[in-house]
């Protein structure tokens, strides 16, 4: 596969109302295309748990995407529902990638420890939660970038390790 199909979901109450420009979505799109990802769909939705869950399920179950990247809703505020929606959507959790993102973040901000991003698998689709800030999203994605093509080979293409 020359390119793998990707969807990007930005989760932001203000962004979904048009009160804030989405900077994180385009920033992670630039990074993921650099390793062979082709963004076929993107959307901005509010922080409502049911809406996030439904969008993740719809995209993953369509079998159209090898990878879904979310940005936003991973903090500790009352409206941050992305991890809970992702946990409800996935069949398997991949905690190692979440741990690597938090531990290896280049950010000198102690706030990364408050991030609750989840990585999991639904069907043949890898779902990765990223923080909502452009810096947090790009730094987190860059820390796991090297393993994404291999994960997609295993999940989406059905290749096995020997």
Residue 17 within any structural domain of the chain: yes
Residue 118 within any structural domain of the chain: yes
Domain hosting 73: range is 4-155
CATH of the domain at 133: 3.40.980.10
pLDDT means per 10 residues, the chain with 162 residues, are 91 92 96 97 97 98 97 95 98 96 71 87 98 93 95 86 52
pLDDT value, residue 158: 83
Q: How far apart are CA 9 and CA 56, in angstroms?
A: 8
Secondary element (H or E) of residue 17: helix 13-17
pLDDT value, residue 37: 97
Q: Which residue's entry shows tokens 């409502």?
A: 48
pLDDT value, residue 162: 45
Residue 160 within any structural domain of the chain: no
Residue 106 within any structural domain of the chain: yes
Please spell the DSSP secondary structure of 30-98, one letter per residue.
HHHHTTTEEEEEEEEE-S-HHHHHHHHHHHHHTT--SEEEEES--SSSTT--HHHHHHHH-SEE-HHHH
pLDDT value, residue 137: 94
Q: How far apart are CA 148 and CA 102, in angstroms?
A: 17
Domain count, the chain: 1
Residue 161 within any structural domain of the chain: no
pTM of the model: 0.94
């Amino acid at each position: 596969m020359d390119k793998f199909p990707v969807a990007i979901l930005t989760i932001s109450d203000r962004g979904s109302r048009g009160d804030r420009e989405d900077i994180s979505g385009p920033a992670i799109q630039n990074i993921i295309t650099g390793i062979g990802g082709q963004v076929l769909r993107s959307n901005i939705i509010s922080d409502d748990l049911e809406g996030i869950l439904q969008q993740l399920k719809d995209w993953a179950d369509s079998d159209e995407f090898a990878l879904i990247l979310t940005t936003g809703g991973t903090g500790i505020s009352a409206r941050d529902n992305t991890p809970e929606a992702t946990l409800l959507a996935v069949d398997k959790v991949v905690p190692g990638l979440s741990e690597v993102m938090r531990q290896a973040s280049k950010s000198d901000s102690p706030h990364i420890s408050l991030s609750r991003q989840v990585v999991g698998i639904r069907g043949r689709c890898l779902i990765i939660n990223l923080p909502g800030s452009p810096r947090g999203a790009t730094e987190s994605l860059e820390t796991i970038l090297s393993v994404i093509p291999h994960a997609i080979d295993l999940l989406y293409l059905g290749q096995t390790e020997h």
